[in-house]
Chains A and B, each alone.
Chain A
């Protein structure tokens, strides 16, 4: 098993948001986590990535046999955990390519593999940018600064392509995308899907799942998984809305 979340209770400022969440993910699988606004989807994503504002009150997460909470956020990343942010952060004055090369080389160093110099990395980056049909004019620009909502999301997937994580948590990567951008981003994610990697797709809408077929769908409400099933569950949610799961959660 790649990731096992056991009875996770976590929250912010002493307030519990996740209240006993369980999840098991194997290599090669794609899991969709759906749920109404405020149900705790981003909280789960941030806790996996190690955001310092969130506190874990109970439970554990085992990643590749290790206690994830023993690792700092940057160590988790170098060990192959990746979070595509719901709201990607702008980093003024730091170019996309500088940033990506540093991140890539940190990971390579960690794995004892060869780092790339700027020229080599540029070739690598160009290849990866094709995954999300991203123009090389974005490389020199400051990270996410002045990017449109859709461009920011694409940039997240570019980062995922560059860093080749084992576990990618994509937090509402579909929101704010028009239909063309959605198709491109979804195709990019599908290209990155393989038997060695697992993906958690956090989404509010079923729309994304038309393009990326999940192996499992989990419905989160009020900090707990209240329903689980295959991809057909997403369609059911689309049809019935979230009210019935919310009711179930109470």
Chain B
């Protein structure tokens, strides 16, 4: 089946169905334009430089139903969450907001969490949404961004008012329960001096084949601080394509940790742009894939202005026949003197069939900067392994413990206990031991 035909059938039909009753007019325009782009461009192919290692042929062939939400198993979904974790939780099931599973009762006065579809029409927030939505991603060049924007409807708008400190994290969970395709969208606007922790998670009730195409846009005003933990645990049959875009203003701090565990095929684009001096970004991540999983991370950190600091630390653990791709571009523009940019990507291959393609790229157009980057691909250290064996750990345990040690730096960045625990277990999956100490 050709791409054109797919668009005609599933995406095209869905677009026609949903567009009719869209308000306001600007959103309708944006969606129409985006759909036109998607129709013209389609999905990227291996010929696109940014997609040369990630083959989408399987995804293109799939006939998903879109935003299917009948027969959601709310009980099963609720079991995916920690009962003890104190958080404001917004739950989407197959891309559709689920009021029953959502609880955002622990927000201070200055923090608002709205359904995006309502926010665009909101008297107070409609203007803010319009000002920022789609401004940090490019729906004209990226087919997935175009597709998500064409279907823009379900999602979250988070607004943190000036100097508001949100103590309890806001957790947005996208749960797949079945075979649907979903196109969630999140816009976070953190006003001057505000502080918030955002958890973005992708979960599933079973091992279905489905497609998630999401976009998270984040705007940090001067002195705003946002901690962002993203945990992708899609089913191992699923397709997952996400873009995170953060726009940083003066002295703001964006601290993101991106964990990739799931999906048959995943692609995460994370783009951070410095718009004013004194801002700092941490763009860290861990991908842990096995079987025939494929995980692709593309990041762009753009030092467009002077005196900003970026730290990037990505680690990869690739087992069995899995494959990972890391492409990290750091731009230091001509006027961006005083930039401090550190980038590192280390990979651990646990099998002979595992593969990593890593490409850290620093593009520096200014001399007055402090920049370093590096990438490694290696195996477990034999001397470390023998050391553990010599203390009586069996070989599986020793290998798992060393693997855990490799990932620990990233895992320990996560302050949310329930997520950290899940991650401990995922990394130590074959380790039948309790690691608390």
Contacts and interface: CB of A to CB of B under 8 A. Distances in A.
Interface residues of A, number: 40
Given A52-B386, A74-B389, A83-B390, A118 B408 contact: no
Nearest to A94: B405
B434 A106 contact: no
Contact of B388 (A91, A107, A117): A91
Contacts of B392: 74, 77-78, 103, 106-107, 110, 163
B437 interface: yes
A50 B390 contact: yes
Contact of B437 (A92, A93, A97): A97
A51 interface: yes
Given A74-B398, A117-B434, A121-B437, A91 B405 contact: yes
A94 B436 CA distance: 11
Contacts of B437: 95, 97-98, 101, 118, 121-122, 139-140
Contact of B436 (A51, A118, A140): A118
Interface in A48-92: 49-52, 72-74, 76-78, 82-83, 85, 88-92
A140 B386 CA distance: 22
A22 interface: no
B386 A92 contact: no
B401 A94 contact: yes
B405 A93 contact: yes
A205 interface: no
B393 A93 contact: no
A102 interface: yes
Which of the listed residues A50, A89, A95 has the most CB atoms from chain B within 10 Å of its own CB? A89
B45 to A, nearest CB: 39
Interface string B401-423: 11011111100000000000000
Interface residues of B, number: 28
B401 A102 contact: yes
B391 interface: yes
Contacts of A107: 392
Contact of A73 (B384, B390, B405, B408): B390
Contact of A74 (B384, B395, B406): B395
Interface of B is mostly: helix
Contact of A106 (B387, B393, B436): B393
A98 B384 contact: no
Nearest to A79: B392
A39 interface: no
Contacts of B394: 74, 106
B121 to A, nearest CB: 49
A105 interface: yes
Which of the listed residues B388, B395, B436 has the most CB atoms from chain A within 10 Å of its own CB? B388
Contacts of B390: 49-50, 73-74, 76-77, 82-83, 85
A102 B433 contact: yes
B100 interface: no
A49 B392 CA distance: 11
A51 B390 CA distance: 8
Contacts of B433: 102, 105
A211 interface: no
B40 interface: no
A43 interface: no
Contact of A159 (B382, B386, B391, B397): B391
A88 B433 CA distance: 24
A94 B402 contact: yes
Interface in B11-53: none
A176 B332 CA distance: 46
Contacts of B382: 52
A33 to B, nearest CB: 18
Given A106-B397, A118-B436, A118-B437, A91 B402 contact: yes
Given A74-B394, A89-B383, A99 B404 contact: no
B435 interface: yes
Interface of B: 382-384, 386-395, 397-398, 401-402, 404-409, 433-437
Interface of A: 49-52, 72-74, 76-78, 82-83, 85, 88-95, 97-99, 101-103, 105-107, 110, 117-118, 121-122, 139-140, 142, 159, 163
11 contacts: A73-B386, A85-B390, A91-B388, A91-B405, A93-B407, A93-B409, A101-B437, A102-B435, A117-B434, A122-B437, A163-B391
Given A91-B401, A99-B401, 17 more contacts: A72-B395, A74-B390, A82-B390, A85-B387, A89-B386, A90-B384, A93-B407, A94-B401, A95-B437, A97-B437, A101-B437, A103-B388, A106-B392, A106-B393, A110-B392, A121-B437, A163-B391
Chain A to chain B: the 8 pairs with minimum beta-carbon distance, closest first? A93-B405, A93-B408, A77-B392, A89-B387, A94-B405, A97-B437, A103-B391, A73-B389
